[in-house]
Structure 1
Amino acid sequence: MQNLLRTPPARDALHALFRQSPPLSPLPPFGDPRWTTAFTAPAAGPALAAITRLATDPAERDAPLPELTDALYRDYAATGTRIRFEKPYFARRRRLARAAIALLASPDAARDPQSPLLRSFIDKLEDIFAEGSWALPAHVHDTPSGRDPLVIDLFAAETAHLMAELLSVFADIIPPDQQAIIRKKLRRDIFENYLATDCWWMLATNNWNAVCHQGVLGAALTIEDDPDLLAALVEKAARHLPAFLDGFGDDGACSEGPAYWDYGFGWFALLNEQLETRTRGEWSLFAGDEKIRRIAAYGPAMSLHGGHVVNFADCRPDCVLRPSTLQYLGATLDLPDCLRQAGENYTRLATPPVDCDFQRTDFLFWSRFFLRPPAGTHHSKPGTPNAKPGEDAAGVFLPSLGVRVIRGRDRHGNTWELAAKGGHNAEHHNHNDVGNFLLHINGIPFVAEIGMPEYNAAYFSEKRYSILAARTLGHSLPLINGCEQAAGAEFSATVRHAGLTPGATFLPFEADLTRAWPAAANCKSFIRGLSLDPHAGVCLWTDTIHLNGPGTVESGFITDSEHVTIESPAVLVIREPGATLEFRIRTDAPDTTTPPCAWTRIETHPCSMPDGTSRSWRRAILAPSGTGNQAAGITGFSATVKITLRA
């Protein structure tokens, strides 16, 4: 097996290969026994029942899909709002997916021309195919109409791939005239358009490169039998896909965060499977590349207890990485951590009540969910801790991002997970968050990262850092002389210590954050230290800041808990069901009732989240005692906070 990106073949060699290799998809065709096996697996039962219940309910089966009106297409250009269009756009694809899965699970219904379920599937397929533009209006920049059938964005590419896979799987079901119309559009608007256009994403180092290439090339590998067209597509993709891998650190780290690792690298892995399948094992995107293994290891390394992830950058905190991707990576690359995480995530998603309506439960998701269940998932329970007492407590450090993750269990069985980052403020999907940290205990995010907010025009403009999720104020970081961090690669951290010694009592992270603030902050030096003793259940957080002249400093942390109480100047507590976490300021002053720093107040800040709802986040403020509310006059700030669970 040869690596397509390392030793790109000549076009004539590709032509000869595809002339001898007819279309072949990793997905089996309708009626194949592999579908029966997948749907009768014990762990699949709750998910299949939930999907079938919705797909056969007349309220969904017989109703038209939510309409994408001209007004909705124009809405983004007029208002900068994305969500009003995107909610029905993705709901349409979820409903088509449910009809397709229900049909695969009920083959007798597909053989009855009068079957309401068959009619529902065909109607939904035709309706989505007939959309005037598959791209999101937010990605169509040259017209206020929001429509352009020749724009290949993430979701035009995804829809092209969806159409190709449905043609492949349901070749005996979809009417021939409809198949011909779909094939014609895919060839003209996707395959030939790709060859004739140099899209910006072709040289991008982020998720767009992999996702768009997978949609275009994956669709062609699935259904095309023209060797000239296939050879041209593969040859061009081979020139551009290496840029995607360049976006990862040599250690495999993804600065876009776990959600975009799941998306970009997940689609890259999917394309690898399709390429290896179609070329009968002759060509691969993985073969012989050790960096691929390191990138694959990033997903489980960033996974936390309770269905959470280390959600630095634009990433939801409750992002459950696709178990099918993890299972494929684990089995293909022999990575036990991927297989373990696949099992945990599969069980979490398959445990009732099954959510069939989160955004990306489309046909790609459900088909792989059923066909690729991790071994033994029906024996496990969701929420299994990542580490036993003393196991893997040293955690992981990714030097290219300066990200440190420490996890372990204390002597009482509580799961502790601490993550901190260095890095810089020009990362993909950047937040001004150099030095930020989060702390989860038993899956509860006591010190939280907001992660991804609602996407709109403002968030992808010069207004980005006025939005709480991306600005320093929305992170567990100080304001220095009223200043937040600034955007740009020069605003960065130097990680001084990230010890990875197994068996050490306290596992540390220490970073110099001085350069992360602009000159107006007048910051002479800022050292942040974090350490965790998982066995004892103790986390220490130390900020030491020196100013060039008298000024103000307010440190603090972010939480979404509604139960935050300042019990005394030295003690703050967060009470959640089953756990009370204490944040106690340590002091060496003789009078311990007047610490050099104090918890002064709890601020509440709203942020619009990905579903469009507003959510309140709390910022607990730690400031020098005696300075009042933003009173000036200090030249130094030093505080150590001991974080423990109360008995």
Structure 2
Amino acid sequence: MKTFLKISAALIFLGSSAAAQVDHLGAQVTLPDHPRILLLKDEEAPIKRTIEADQAWAKLHGVILAECDALMDVAPIERIQIGRRLLGKSREGLRRLFFLSYGWRMTRQENYLRRAEKELLAISAFSDWNPSHFLDVGEMTMAVALGYDWLYDGLPESSRSAIKAAILKKGIEPSLDPKYNSWLKTTNNWNQVCNAGMVYGALAIFEDQPELGKKIVNRALESVVISMDEYSPDGAYPEGYSYWGYGTSFNVMLIGALEKAFGKDFGLSARPGFLKTAGYLENMTGPSGLSFNYSDAGSGVGLEPAMFWFAARQRDPSLLWVERRHLLNDDAQRLVKNRLLPATMLWSAGVSTTAMTAPTSLMWTGGGKTPVALMRSSWTDPAAVYVGMKGGSPSTSHAHMDVGSFVMESDGVRWAMDFGMQDYESLESKKVDLWNRNQDSQRWRVFRYNNFVHNTLTINNALQVVNGKAPLTAVSKAPNFMHAVTDLTELYAESVQKAVRGVALVDKSYVVVRDELENKPAETTVRWTLLTPATVKIVGNNKAELTKDGKKLVLEVREPANVVLKTWTTEPANEYDAPNPGTVRVGFEVPVAAGAKTALTVLLLPPKAEKINKKTVEPLAKWPR
């Protein structure tokens, strides 16, 4: 009874606020018949033509159908919650139902339909979809709504009734309760995922709940732009690589559904920076195939279906250069882990793999909350030199104290690396206060999260200032001296008057990292660190050889003159920290006198660069603009 009254009150509140809510849809709304989400009736034909015309697309289609076959004898998902999350089950539900529904749409094989129906009924019978962690509800609602819509004509009325009741009661209605819908005002991926899920639910049962459906869609159009503003001005996604794959993918799923249902996206794709974000994602992958995994990013990479939507929208197949490699080379086991994989087929737009040519620009930069600069010597040479640097702030959603950090690779080896995230449950289960981002939060004692282990500076053995911000202050795409400069002063404001870092790719051959510091009236000790999976051999006070997989890189300190290189372990001190085998930190510490100015200049030299004349490294103010 209490739950009913809460939901009723929420519905009354939503209705009473309708005057304040912008009516994007208008009074008369007519939607296509089922199927109406993402792929309308008879729109399978262009996909079939793409499959027939290109072997790579035929392979991917076959991979999806093979996974459908593999699901035939797998038991439906059970409601098993891990910690505070049901999210793993929601994601597997979306994966299964998207795959099986695609299989049914493309082949009309009855076994795919019946297996999907079995999954839909099992999920619909859950006690709830865990609204206290609403991402779980967002993904589960999308899963069930998509299955309901795509399989509508093949489902018996009894199944339809049970499924649409679950969409309403376990998906949409909890989103009306203020206890569960704080995501409506957040700027992060929760906004994108949850709004997308609710819109899918609303579209699926629109004929049964037209007024509620309109209000859910209108609400989403007002809310999702809050998170989409994070792409401004250039498309750099503040939460990093992995969360781009999450938030942006669901944002595109939302836009794709709106376009099919209403014939327009209500201006969402035109939001500042949104279409540009495809360039960000493409440039975030190095020649080794590894991503620049700063912040709470995982180490995995894979096919990104959303990139095919961006490429089709912009008529630019070069945005698919990285995706082409996944499309051609990833094995089935890796591909089918992606719960949105069938969307790749929907957004293929008939593009052949031969049309997916390399980009022309070797450097990409973006401002915003987490500015980045991404440089490489070549898109087609697997041994190319690649370097990525970030600015930003530890206060940003999912951020680490990694401001000023960089990754670097050459000869197919990631020499300067980032650990990325630690599994949240492994920390939450041990009562780590992970989501508190205050300066003295326990979050910053997690080994992988603080500046001590990132490729940046540590001053006086102190943490970076959480609320400090580091913008990019200069960039250049000059072919022989690509570079970017970020002002780190606010991150070390308690210790120094000024701290600026520049990273350059010189002559497409080697990397220069230069830091310029100006002390306050007190002495400081500055530590320069590089985290690496390589074996490190100190071969002189200012030089170290890094070796891995039969390849070599030389780290050479040009200034100050009297440094002594050393290594530090990556074995963490806390029992809740993840182990870090096969890694080491290399760098140096230097004392800086009170009020003094100093410069730290480090060269990262692949073997080919050792044989060429290295340019004199000028002060950052003289780096060409």
Q: Which residue of 1 aligns with 2:619?
A: none
Counterpart residue type for residue 621 of structure 1: G
Distance of 2:313 and 2:24 partners within structure 1: 29
Counterpart of 1:220 in structure 2 is 202
1:249 aligns to what?
Answer: 232
Q: Which amino acid aligns with 1:451?
A: G
Residue number in structure 2 paired with 1:558: 531
Distance in 2 between residues matched to 1:358 and 1:346, nearest whole Å: 16
Match of 2:123 among 124, 128, 149: 128
* Aligned positions of 1:534-613 closer than 5 A: 534-535=507-508, 537-547=509-519, 548-559=521-532, 561-577=533-549, 579-586=551-558, 595-605=561-571
Q: Which of 418, 423, 426 lines up with 1:454 in the alignment?
A: 423
1:37 is displaced (CA, Å) by: 4.1
Structure 2 counterpart of 1:354, from 332, 353, 356: 332
Q: Secondary structure at the match of 2:408?
A: strand
State which of 63, 71, 75 in structure 2 corresponds to 1:64. Answer: 75
Residues 443-522 of structure 1 correspond to what in structure 2 (within 5 A)? 443-456=412-425, 457=428, 458=432, 459-461=434-436, 462-488=441-467, 491-493=468-470, 495-500=472-477, 502-503=478-479, 505-517=480-492, 519=494, 522=495
Q: 1:451-491 CA deviation, whole Å, 9 max, x = no partner? A: 22212333324321112232111211232222121312xx2
State the Cα distance separating 1:272 from its structure 2 match: 1.8
Q: Tell me the secondary structure at the aligned position of residue 268 of structure 2.
A: coil
CA contact (8 A) 1:250 1:400 kept: no
Task: Answer yes or no: is 1:240 the counterpart of 2:223.
Answer: yes
Contact 2:303 2:335 in 1 (8 A): no
Secondary structure at 2:184's aligned position in 1?
A: helix
Question: Residues of 1 paired with 2:412 and 2:59: CA distance?
Answer: 24
Mapped to 1, the partners of 2:98 and 2:224 lie a distance apart of 29
Question: Where does residue 645 of structure 1 map in the other structure?
Answer: 606
Partner of 1:15: 27
What's 2:12 paired with? none
For residue 171 of structure 1, report the CA deviation from its aligned partner: 2.0
CA contact (8 A) 1:597 1:623 kept: yes
- 2:57 is matched by which residue type in structure 1? A
Q: Secondary structure at the match of 1:440?
A: strand
Q: CA deviation at 1:347?
A: 3.8
C-alpha contact 1:393 1:534 (8 A) present in aligned 2: no
Residue 392 of structure 2 is matched in structure 1 by 423
Q: CA deviation at 1:622?
A: 1.8
Change (3 A) 1:211 1:484: same
Structure 1 contact 210–244 (Cα < 8 Å) conserved: yes
Deviation at 1:496? 4.0
Q: Which runs of 5+ in 1 are unaligned?
A: 1-7, 141-150, 589-594
Identity, % of aligned positions? 19
CA shift at 1:320, angstroms?
3.5
Q: CA deviation at 1:313?
A: 2.0
The equivalent residue for 2:374 is 405
Cα 1:276–1:50 change in 2 (3 A) is closer
User: How do 1:24-173 and structure 2 match up within 5 A?
Assistant: 24-28=36-40, 32-34=44-46, 36-37=48-49, 40=52, 41-57=54-70, 61-65=72-76, 67-69=78-80, 73=81, 76=83, 90-91=91-92, 93-104=94-105, 106-107=107-108, 109-110=109-110, 115=111, 119-135=114-130, 140=132, 153-173=134-154
Greater relative CO (CA pairs within 8 A, separation 6+)? 1
Matches of 2:43 and 2:363 in 1, distance apart?
A: 49
**1:404 is aligned with what amino acid?**
A
CA 1:304–1:398: 2 relative to 1, 3 Å: farther
Shift of 1:232: 2.0
Whether the 8 Å contact between 1:542 and 1:641 is mirrored in structure 2 is: yes
> Partners of 1:185 and 1:68 in 2: how far apart?
14
- TM-superposed deviation, 1:549: 3.2
1:305 aligned onto 2:284: no
Find 1:286's aligned residue among 268, 282, 285: 268
Whole-Å separation in 1 of the counterparts to 2:516 and 2:24:
64
Relative to structure 1, the CA distance from residue 543 to residue 618 in structure 2 (aligned partners, 3 Å threshold; closer, same or farther) is same
Give how far 1:314 is off. 1.8
Q: Are residues 28 and 22 of structure 1, via their aligned partners in 2, closer, same or farther at CA, if it must alter by over 3 Å? A: closer
The separation in 2 between residues aligned to 1:96 and 1:222, in whole angstroms, is: 14
Q: Return 505-514 or 286-295, whichever deviates more.
A: 286-295
Q: Matched residues in 1 for 2:381 and 2:38: separation? A: 46
Whether 2:156 is the aligned partner of 1:175: answer yes
The change in CA–CA distance for 1:186 and 1:204 in structure 2 (over 3 A counts) is: same
TM-score by length of 2: 0.80
CA 90–238 in structure 1, closer or farther in 2 if over 3 Å, else same = closer
Partner of 1:145: none
CA contact (8 A) 1:30 1:170 kept: no
- SS in structure 1 at match of 2:424: coil
Structure 2 CA distance for aligned equivalents of residues 526 and 188 of structure 1: 54
CA distance in 2, matches of 1:600, 1:642: 16
Deviation of 1:348 after TM superposition, in Å, equals 0.8
Q: How does 1:266-345 map to 2 (within 5 A)?
A: 266-281=249-264, 284-286=266-268, 289-320=271-302, 322=304, 324-334=305-315, 336=316, 339-345=317-323
Q: Partners of 1:38 and 1:295 in 2: how far apart?
A: 26
Write the distance in 2 (CA, Å) between the matches of 1:554 and 1:19. Answer: 61
Where 1:498 maps in the other structure, the secondary structure is strand
Contact 2:31 2:262 in 1 (8 A): no
Distance 2:380 2:135 in 1: 47
Cα drift, residue 355 of structure 1: 2.8
Following TM superposition, by how much is the alpha carbon of 1:96 offset from its aligned partner in structure 2, in angstroms?
Answer: 4.8
Cα separation, partners in 2 of 1:450 and 1:607, compared to 1, 3 Å: farther
What amino acid maps onto 1:15 in structure 2? A
How far does residue 368 in structure 1 lie from its aligned partner after superposition? 1.0
